[in-house]
Amino acid sequence: MWTVKVIGFSVLAASVSVELLNWLRRRYKARKTLNEVIFFPSELGCVEHLLRPSLPYPCYCALPHGVETSLSRLLRHILSASSSLDLCVFSFSNMDLCRAVLALHQKGVIIRVLSDKQYIAISGSQIGPLRQAGICVRSDVGSVYMHHKFALVDGSILITGSLNWTLTAVQGNMENLIVTMEPELVRPYIQEFNRLWEINDPLKHPNSVQAF
């Protein structure tokens, strides 16, 4: 009888332990990981509801409405920023992405933009409007391309891939983006952004031209 009880208790204890550990593992995993891949070119779709959610009337533009596209998924991640957005982009000329950054700036999100010094001044660049709005923009002072295309949302979400922030890249090219919260991936990008931000401080390079 006692042997049965001992075995019973042992099985019960083991089961409870397994369940507890599984619950902890699921909870840890759910909190830690966001792993998403977005491919481009994006399908066409109106994104006004994301950029102007308080619009009192529906949008009547010619684009399809109510569809989730690659661009809308990217915009949702960017617009989820509540405290900071760090951008390190080779080329930035996409107006929808610029509007998203400006909307965050108006909400009080702290934004830092680092871009390539040659591409910062090309026709259609949105770096000018960002600077005019008071967003801190730095261009790299090196002689090579600053070819990164990544963003860090609230220091916890990394968005990176082949996609430059241009209209051609979003609507034309075949491109890819990873959106992840994996700490082993996010951490090095945070360190690299801070390193590049510091070495490209215009105060350290008084003779460099910060375009716009």
What residues act catalytically?
A: 147, 149, 154
Contact region with a second copy (CB under 8 A), list: 60-68, 97-105, 160-168, 203-211: 160-168
CB of residue 79 to a second copy, shortest distance in Å: 22
CB of residue 48 to a second copy, shortest distance in Å: 25
Write out the binding residues for a second copy, residues 75-104 only, by CB under 8 A.
90
- Answer yes or no: are the C-beta atoms of 40 and 169 closer than 8 Å: yes
Q: Does 16 bind a second copy (CB under 8 A)?
A: yes
User: What does the block give as tokens for 165?
Assistant: 């922030």
- Answer yes or no: are the C-beta atoms of 177 and 71 closer than 8 Å: no
Nearer Cβ to a second copy, position 103 or 161?
161
Q: What is the CA radius of gyration of the chain?
A: 23
Total interface residues for a second copy by CB under 8 A: 52
Report the b/e string of 56-79 with b at 16+ CB within 10 A: eeeeeeeeeeeeebbbbebbebbb
Nearer Cβ to a second copy, position 9 or 52?
9
d(CA 88, CA 197): 9
d(CA 100, CA 51): 6
In Å, the largest CA–CA distance within the chain is 89
Name which position in 78, 160, 165, 170 contacts a second copy (CB under 8 A). 160
Q: Does 202 bind a second copy (CB under 8 A)?
A: no
AA letter at 89: V
> Site residues (CB under 8 A) for a second copy?
2, 5-7, 9-14, 16-18, 21-22, 25, 33, 35-37, 39, 41, 90, 140, 142, 144-150, 160-163, 168-169, 172-176, 178, 180, 182, 184-185, 188-189, 192, 196
